[in-house]
Chain A
Amino acid sequence: MGERPAGLTFSRHGYPLAALPPESDARPLDGLLARAREGDLSAFEALVAATREQVYGLALRMMGTDADAAEVLQETYLSAYQGLSAYRGEAAFSSWVYRIAANHCLMRLRHRKVRAAAEDALAEPEYTPRGSLAGMPAEAWGRSAEDDALDAELRMAIQRATDALPEAHREVFLLKDVEGLSYEDIAGMLGDSVPAIKSRLHRARLSLREAIDRFYNEKGLQPGGQDGI
């Protein structure tokens, strides 16, 4: 297990005890949780069934391979089960288990250490010497791209661009913009300051925006158009 960041309380199994919910406060799983904490294994299995898709998605995006994601999934629910008695219930079960998974991913990535922190891999907008944008964004993809169906090629381009981000930027982008964790949670998990997290997120977004813009430029596609997404 890697060094534990300040600002978070961790159990002996490595999961955060003071998790914050990234989603609804409705707590629909609390009944199952109460039964699971009393030793009802079928209730725990129901909790797993209710949350495993989301946890798997996080693990696959973070780890990049099915095999690693499947292992993180197993480790996550084993940790959750072992930690049920210590779970204080401040957060919804789904949020709590989601953060356990994120921590397992981050620990594995720290051990992997294959990605160099190549910040020059980050694309940025081009400016004139006076600080003006050197060109208009390609087409008008910002207007309708959110509502249109996703083209398979664009999906692949985004996947490649995300994979190409320096690890420190990729983690922050995935945890914040895709998984919906708070800045404070991410800063605690990564052992960084909130301003540092925001700086990396901004640079990751700029780089991904450039990749999408390049995609539209190269394809000459209009979102929602005859040949577009």
Chain B
Amino acid sequence: MKTCKDSIDVLLQYLDGELPAEDAAALESHLGCCTPCVEFLRTYRATTHLCKRALAQKMPESVTASLDAFLKERLGK
């Protein structure tokens, strides 16, 4: 029987589909009887999505202008 720690240690491989079938079955067996790990898996997956959205950046117009000026100067024309 896997422990929570055993399960969490292999979550990345599991979500990447790279966990050997036997290990994946053991993990899924653990998830079937461990609510905290099910919630942990949900939050582990949600973390990537939340971070990607939280770290989105807009480019200021001033940067666009300075890039245009830089390229005109360096590339000629």
Contacts and interface: CB of A to CB of B under 8 A. Distances in A.
Interface residues of A, number: 52
A198 interface: yes
From B46, B50, B53, name the one whose CB has the most chain A CB atoms within 10 angstroms: B50
Interface stretch (A92-100, A103-111, A206-214): A206-214
Contacts, number: 135
Nearest to A156: B54
Contacts of B55: 61, 158-159, 162, 174, 178
B63 interface: yes
- Interface of B (DSSP majority class): helix
A4 interface: no
B46 A127 contact: no
6 contacts: A52-B67, A133-B37, A142-B41, A142-B44, A158-B54, A177-B52
Interface residues of B, number: 46
B48 A133 contact: no
Nearest to B35: A136
Interface of B: 3-6, 8, 11-13, 16, 34-37, 39-60, 63-64, 66-68, 70-71, 74-77
Nearest to B67: A73
Interface of A: 41, 44-45, 48, 52-53, 56-57, 60-61, 66, 69-70, 73-74, 77-78, 81, 125, 127, 130-133, 135-137, 140-143, 145-146, 150, 154-155, 158-159, 162, 173-174, 177-178, 198, 201-202, 205-206, 208-209, 212-213
